[in-house]
Amino acid sequence: MEDYGYLVNEHEIECFSHSSSTDELVIRVKEVLDKLGEDLLNSSIDFERFVMIIEYNSQNELMMNEMNPIHEFIVKFVKDKKMCWGLSQHDDIEGVKITLVASK
């Protein structure tokens, strides 16, 4: 079985993850996506594939209007490349946490 180190070295995989510092709707998602965008811009790799995991607290659920910044992020950074994403409830986080795995 290939280990993570091999995948990182041979296939140029990066994992970026940020959590919101606010519970204010829409702003919390945009704040995290801005950080992820900076990570992608600072990387010298032209990624081809993305996996995005969006986690939120069930007491402070993700709202439909919070999907707009996600759509804008995808249009700006993912464009016509391959991407899959998913939502997950985790009661041990305060706001929103988004993890982005990107590879060549």
Q: 88-97 pLDDT, tens per residue?
A: 998 888 889 9
pLDDT of residue 10: 64
Q: What is the mean pLDDT of the chain?
A: 88
Please state the pTM of the whole predicted model.
Answer: 0.85
**Each residue's pLDDT tens digit, 3-49:** 656 556 666 788 999 999 877 777 999 999 999 999 999 998 899 99
CA distances (Å), origin 55, targets 28, 35, 43, 92, 103: 12, 16, 24, 10, 21
Q: What angle do CA 75, 46, 15 make, to 5 degrees?
A: 85
**Domains of the chain in sequence order:** 14-103 (3.30.1330.20)
Cα 22 to Cα 6: distance, rounded to the nearest angstrom? 36
- The encoded tokens of residue 53 equal 């995991």
**SS3 sequence, 69-93?**
HHHHHHHHHHCCCEEEEEEEECCCC
